[in-house]
Structure 1
Amino acid sequence: MNQDWRGILLRRLLLLLGACLLLGLVTGQYAWALVLGLAGYLYWNLRQLLRLHHWLKNADELPPEGSGVWGEVFDQIYHLQKRNQRARGRLQAVIDRVQESTAALKDGVVMLDRQGNLEWWNRAAGQLLGLKRKQDGGQPITNLVRHPRFKEYFEQDNHREPLELPSPVDDHLRLQLQLTLYGNGEHLMLVRDVTRLHQLEQMRKDFVANVSHELRTPLTVLTGYLETLQDNVDDIQPRWRRALQQMQQQGARMQNLLNDLLLLARLEATDYPADSKPVAVDLLLLSIRGDAQALSADRHRISLEADATVRLKGSESELRSAFSNLVFNAVKYSPEGGEIRIRWWADAEGAHLAVQDSGLGIEARHIPRLTERFYRVDASRSANTGGTGLGLAIVKHVLIHHRGQLQIDSTPGKGSTFTCHFPPAQVVRR
């Protein structure tokens, strides 16, 4: 209706008042005439309101017939209902298409609320995680995926890296879980079956470990005979002395490479260190500093600042491997007369180890790949220093065992700082 309902309402009220005044003029009872007229008008409006209430309770019915303002109200509500129904239909069609497409995915999709309770999941997620539609809805995801690493992963703030775990349904299945925050703190979790990739990676690890182990025996025999020949170098022709010396150097380098490969294979085979106990990091760093000074041969200034009251839960042997790699690298890649600072401290965010050098520095494009196996910023420089290319890979895996992270800051020509960050859960105060 396109009429001006305000004008209609005003005209009707004027007509009602006119009729009441006319009735009062005829009867001589103006007050009673106004009361009866207003009461009748009120009754009619209440009746229309009751009709509206009845219609809204039975929305499938057609709108009641009405005139004037109430007719306009009925028509407007009816058209609004139709628009809402069409909008709901379009939204439901979109939801149905999304559910159908996610149901067809081989990867699992799980929607969680802010507290981590299950809201919805597709068919693949139900199969991979063993979720049951009727009884698991609204349950906390940590009650259904009970692995301790998943609980830590869910409660932490940083979910940039995915988490790999065995499936709760089948230990032979390997799953990759990736959490993403959206909306008002809700979680979206993607679940992928990476069993095949895990098997290939395990085959690679086993191959490297087996080859490294098998090479140790013949290499030990060769280096042993080379040492024997070196001890009797006076009985050997002079032209062979340089060759024996180079063979012995390369044999020692191969021995270091095999040792690093075996250590890396052992680190990859376990999630957490078996001998997790409080480690006196200050004493450990003092020993490493002594070894670094011997390696430096007084060509560098090495300072140590360590908080003796801060200990770290973990494996002393693994921590020694990681920390010594960082310190020895600083010695190897710093020029003569350079300064190396080692600092160990703790604050509200956990414990930290920083190894700062005044070496050549590293370009920014190399930093993301430094912890890859055999990655070399400068192959010739690494060969000269006797590096195996596995040191920072060992550091990364040791930190993973101890729930730590490695931060690398470097400026070409000004040096580098390697900082290990450990969470408060790993810190023990003495």
Structure 2
Amino acid sequence: MNQNWHGTLIRHMLLLVTGCLVVGLITGFYGWSLAAGLALYLGWTLKQLLRMHEWLRLHKPDEAPPDGYGLWGEVFDSIYHLQRRDQRVRGRLQAVIDRVQESTAALKDAVIMLDSDGNLEWWNRAAETLLGLKTPQDSGQPVTNLVRHPRFKEYFEQENYAEPLEIPSPTNDRVRIQLYLTRYGNNEHLMLVRDVTRIHQLEQMRKDFVANVSHELRTPLTVICGYLETLLDNVEEVNPRWSRALQQMHQQSGRMQTLLNDLLLAKLEATDYPSDNQPVPVDDLLQIIVEDAQELSGPKQQTITLEADPNVQLKGSEAELRSAFSNLVFNAVKYTPEQGRIRVRWWADGQGAHLSVQDSGIGIDSKHLPRLTERFYRVDSSRNSNTGGTGLGLAIVKHVLLRHRGRMEISSVPGHGSTFTCHFAPAQTVRSRLTSAAD
């Protein structure tokens, strides 16, 4: 095409010069004829430029360029062919975009495109159902303004997207969604959202089953082990033929306790926060635990007292809190001698809520205190053999407290007993309306 333009331009110039020379030969004014010819050609060229400028400025999409003659006809024809080729390319690209949009619109999973600042750029129809996005008014809005769950904001800002995030849907608390974030391009974000309600329900059923089994079997097993220990401590008073049977029963019950503890620890370590985060009446819970502890105490004739503020509740999982608190109380029963004293207190102050379990037992040397909550850590083998401990009880307590934004403080004096105190932040506590009104 360039060679044709060059040839056409040369021919036109030769014809123009020849015509001007012929006119100059006739009139005798060669210079004026050549100048007039060149001026006419320049004027015609400027006119064609103005036509093209006017077309570029005012033409509608897909409108063909104006007709032209000579070299400018070639130019307009070239523009027309480029325009047609661009239309075909744009048509193919639009077909691809339409196909992608149709396929993503058919997805049940939400697809959301965010810019580098986290503002919404594009989303499919599933995003409107799962996240409540609205077209077009939400376009350009920060995604954290529309998905207001505090865990999502923390997840988005920490920029660590190795693991997905599971939260309730902003449109329906009964729907659980799982979010995946991926960076692409110029630090932009692609967010995928799945409805995992069914999976969450199945997982919750499994967790509830493990929690119920571990709780319902823990108390009777603890009582059985307590009575077996009492019988083994007085084995000389038992018929000799029952001695081996009692030892095997005690051994197998210990294995069952270890299995239950492992199940509970696996459940606690699977998530970082209890899903059933509801106010728990701790005073009623402790009353049940103390009654079970009295059964466990049996012939030891220990004095177990409970002081619990009924107006202070704790947000969290009742099953997990029962496991943790019962571990502390049952341990006090195990390591407190006959006719010893155990005091259980539940109260709240400006620092939050607190549970303390104080006993007059054998106590623990200070060097062991930092490691008491480690899995399978035992102070000494003789202590463990005397009480049947597995080294998992305080590890369970530690995990439950971490999941409930709490911490444990241990103080102990050998020969004078121990005190285990659980501290919970004010945000985890719930005061009754009566108490709030009085305050």
TM norm structure 1 = 0.61
Counterparts in 2 of 1:96 and 1:398: CA distance versus 1, 3 Å: farther
Matched, 1:158 2:208: no
> Which of the residues 367, 374, 380 maps onto 1:324?
374
Matched, 1:90 2:83: no
What is the RMSD computed on CA atoms of the aligned residues? 3.9
Quote how far apart the aligned CAs of 1:225 are.
1.4
Q: Does 266-275 or 236-245 show the bigger shift?
A: 266-275
Spell out, residue by residue over 1:290-332, the C-alpha distance to the aligned partner (whole angstroms, 9 max, x if none): xxxxxxxxxxxxxxxxxxxxxxxxxxx9xx899723x859xx9
Once residues 176 and 261 of structure 1 are traced to their aligned partners in structure 2, the CA distance between those partners, rounded to angstroms, is 25
Spell out, residue by residue over 1:193-246, the C-alpha distance to the aligned partner (whole angstroms, 9 max, x if none): 111111111111112111211112221221121111111122335554444334
Secondary structure of 1:133 counterpart: coil
Letter of the structure 2 residue corresponding to residue 270 of structure 1: P
Counterparts in 2 of 1:321 and 1:90: CA distance versus 1, 3 Å: farther
Counterparts in 2 of 1:133 and 1:61: CA distance versus 1, 3 Å: closer
What does residue 66 of structure 2 align with?
64
Counterparts in 2 of 1:65 and 1:322: CA distance versus 1, 3 Å: farther
Secondary structure of 2:223 counterpart: helix
1:128, 1:167 within 8 Å by CA — same for their partners in 2? yes
2:377, 2:391 within 8 Å by CA — same for their partners in 1? no
Spell out, residue by residue over 1:309-356, the C-alpha distance to the aligned partner (whole angstroms, 9 max, x if none): xxxxxxxx9xx899723x859xx9xxxxxxxxxxxxxxxxxxxxxxxx
Quote how far apart the aligned CAs of 1:185 are.
2.2
Secondary structure of 1:119 counterpart: strand
Quote how far apart the aligned CAs of 1:177 are.
0.7
Once residues 258 and 250 of structure 2 are traced to their aligned partners in structure 1, the CA distance between those partners, rounded to angstroms, is 12
Matched, 1:33 2:37: no
Once residues 133 and 238 of structure 1 are traced to their aligned partners in structure 2, the CA distance between those partners, rounded to angstroms, is 82
What does residue 411 of structure 2 align with?
none
What does residue 183 of structure 2 align with?
181
Quote how far apart the aligned CAs of 1:153 are.
1.9
Structure 2 residues not aligned, in runs of 5+: 278-313, 316-355, 357-369, 382-388, 406-439
Spell out, residue by residue over 1:24-64, the C-alpha distance to the aligned partner (whole angstroms, 9 max, x if none): 45545444333322221111111111222333332544443
What does residue 11 of structure 1 align with?
11
2:161, 2:182 within 8 Å by CA — same for their partners in 1? yes
Counterparts in 2 of 1:145 and 1:26: CA distance versus 1, 3 Å: same
1:142, 1:151 within 8 Å by CA — same for their partners in 2? yes
Secondary structure of 1:270 counterpart: coil
Once residues 239 and 229 of structure 1 are traced to their aligned partners in structure 2, the CA distance between those partners, rounded to angstroms, is 13
Secondary structure of 2:104 counterpart: helix
What does residue 437 of structure 2 align with?
none
Q: Percent same amino acid at aligned positions? A: 66
Once residues 323 and 51 of structure 1 are traced to their aligned partners in structure 2, the CA distance between those partners, rounded to angstroms, is 87
1:55, 1:61 within 8 Å by CA — same for their partners in 2? no
What does residue 52 of structure 2 align with?
52
What does residue 131 of structure 1 align with?
133
TM norm structure 2 = 0.60
Q: Does 181-190 or 200-209 show the bigger shift?
A: 181-190
What does residue 197 of structure 2 align with?
195
What does residue 344 of structure 1 align with?
none
Secondary structure of 1:143 counterpart: helix
Counterparts in 2 of 1:254 and 1:191: CA distance versus 1, 3 Å: same
